[in-house]
Structure 1
Amino acid sequence: VSFFRGTPLLVQLFLIYYGLPQIFPVFINMSAFVATVLGLSLHFSAYMAETIRGALSSVDKGQIEAGYSVGMNTIQVMVRIVIPQGVRVAIPSIVNSSIDLLKSSSLAFTLGLADIMAKTQLEAASSYRFLESYLAVALVYWILVILLERVQKILEIKLNRGY
């Protein structure tokens, strides 16, 4: 977890795509898509692990002890007390990480993967309309981020109804 949180995503993508095949020849035919998915997954799972850990540990110890005092076992305490409260705390961080993941996917272009940035670069190079092309991509990313933020608000409203 520390390695993936402590190094830049671009370095991780390059290490996976260019370095891993040199150490383990079985990865010699790894595509840019697989390297990108692997790199993004490892990078953001490290952040998600910390988000979930922090959210679950935010539940007051007194509530956990209260669950035990009324006869609940550990699984019941987790399912009925800790996880529901932890999810409420984790939602904003999870959505923010999802937004970061969405925007970081543009780094796939550096490995030669034809994503929206690659298509935009090709279009801009052929028409010499770089400003318009990149503004269009920025608009697409912005709309997607707005949609994710709306989903976050809906989730927060639904999860906080019980309070």
Structure 2
Amino acid sequence: MKKLFLLLAAAMLFLSACGDETAAPEKEEPKEDVKQEEKEQPKKEDKEQPKDGPKEEDSSIDTSMYEYSKSVEVTDAIDINNYVSLIIRMNDNLQPGLAFQHATTQTYDFLHQPAIKGADKVGINIILNDKKIAMYEVDISKFQPNDDEPMADVVMEASVVEMMSPEVEEYANTMDIPLNKE
């Protein structure tokens, strides 16, 4: 009986020792998973970064002059086709005509920067309350800075209007802002 009891105790001891060995790798596996997740997290963060942010940071084109905007997206295609495109999302509390005038006036300063040298044309898209209110294209060769005229007028004299909402067109006519619709 002592032999049986001793044999049983040895078997239990053996099984408990084997159980610990199989349990230990299970505990270590989650640690490896955590390490793998930590390695993957930076990749996820890179993918989750907004596409607009890095473009503005990586680009040498400055959009800080657009004070009345929520955001400005720049497409710099100077190397490809001598073109720069802007999507200017204006603050939603502005009226359409005033949003147009602010964006156009600030475009005057935008056109002075050295970073857009080499561009033949600059496309301007003005968005207010998720609706495009104006779209025009500035011909850089026709842009002649003049401090004696309103800045919006100088910009629009060098531009061709491709699209404009009726409210903005009425405002521009009231303010005598020239609109070329070639």
Q: TM-score by structure 1 length?
A: 0.27
Higher relative contact order (CA 8 A, sep 6+): 1
Structure holding more helix per residue:
1
- From the CA coordinates, give the structure whose radius of gyration is larger: 2
Q: TM-score by structure 2 length?
A: 0.25
Structure holding more strand per residue:
2
